[in-house]
Chains A and B, each alone.
Chain A
Amino acid sequence: MSNLVWIFVSALLINNFVLSYFLGLCPFLGVSGKLETSFRLGLATVFVMLITALCAWFLNTYILIHAPYLRLISFIVVIASTVQFIEMLIKRLSPHLFKALGIFLPLITTNCAILGLAIFSTNKGYGLAQGMIYALGAGLGFTLALVLMAGLREESELAPVPRLMRGTALNLIIAGILSMAFMGFAGLFSAA
């Protein structure tokens, strides 16, 4: 049990996907302009990550033992098509949820954080429960980083920043400082 808690906290804070593995930077820099949008994108990512973990576990256990060299291709194809399928299903069953997750679902599938999640949890040899917890932690960590970033960016809109500095350069430096703050979490579990 404590093992699962550790996996969750580690993926959420200490090895945050965005701020210490640099995964999912494209949406992190691209979509973090507004608080509202970034929160929704975060939730959609959590959702896709859970599906990914399930797919990855299934593929690893039943198919890839026979053909390990197909790992990359099958991850991409299976995850993308599953997400697409589930998107259609949600559209039918719950239009409200579909509206909330919306256009983000197909976009997220090609996000490097998703493939990264599948590869990392394979490399670590996680089982089903561990993989799902890892996905949940990583997804919430992504949401946390995105929401923090969006808040900071909304503030910095009003700040008197030199013109050359505006845009990506400023965002990267904000991200750097945020990442520095997250490094503080590294000491969290060192005693355990």
Chain B
Amino acid sequence: MPKAQQDAYQEFIKGLWRDNPVFVQVLGMCPILAVTNSAVNALAMGGATFFVLVTSSFLVSSLKRWIPRQVRISTYVIIIATFVTVTDFALQALVPQIHKELGAFIPLIVVNCMILGRQEAFASKNSVRLAVVDALGMASGFLFALFALGGVREILGEGRFFGIDLFGPEFEPWVIMILPPGGFLTLGLLLLFFSWVKERKEQLAERLADMQGEPS
């Protein structure tokens, strides 16, 4: 792979896994928990955030030379708010049912700290191409996290996945999982799982290094 392409690939993977905005950086919590009571809602929310993040990263990165440093944060917020308004109206027109379920949480994408964080930390300092790739990676990571949470909560809370019955009529749904406490508990356990995986990986690498160090 040529170097430029490899860099772009690294930026993409970083958002999706190693620096996953939800599981590793714990950013943008509010929308994550509020709308992930079913897989469909989670996907819609993830898609909306995806669009906003990618378009605002693109715009911020293209305009970075003309944005004065002192008012940069307010400029980013206005750019983000514009795209969120666009998304809000688009969803209302295209999928009114989902728009109604997500309700006030679509406008709240504006204050998702992950989006503003990417503008400040990455898009305002890098080329347009890298900024878009970074946004794509972060947004995919966010979408993945939302989907994981929404999936787990729907399966346990209703015994269904995308509205398809999974366990038959005997299954007693854990209603708590689709209620607010379930959101906190599921995210807590998923975070625990991710730090466990990371720990295992580090231990494995250590053992591997030990084995290579010793002459056999």
Contact = CB atoms under 8 A, between A and B. Distances in A.
A123 B179 CA distance: 22
B107 A169 contact: no
B213 to A, nearest CB: 26
A142 to B, nearest CB: 13
Interface string B147-189: 0000000000000000000000000000010011111110111
Contacts of A64: none
Given A73-B78, A115-B108, A115-B110, A25 B188 contact: no
A173 to B, nearest CB: 4
Contacts of B181: 176-177, 179-180, 183
B29 A25 contact: yes
Nearest to A122: B104
Given A25-B30, A164-B192, A172 B111 contact: no
Interface residues of B, number: 41
B192 A183 contact: no
Contacts, number: 111
B114 to A, nearest CB: 10
- What's the dominant secondary structure at chain B's contact region? helix
B85 interface: yes
Q: Is the interface of A mostly helix, strand, loop or mixed?
A: helix
Interface residues of A, number: 39
B82 to A, nearest CB: 7
A19 B26 CA distance: 17
B58 to A, nearest CB: 19
Contacts of B78: 73, 76-77
Contacts of A25: 29-30, 33
Interface of A: 19-26, 29, 69, 71-73, 76-77, 80, 110-112, 114-116, 119-120, 123, 164-165, 168-173, 175-177, 179-180, 183
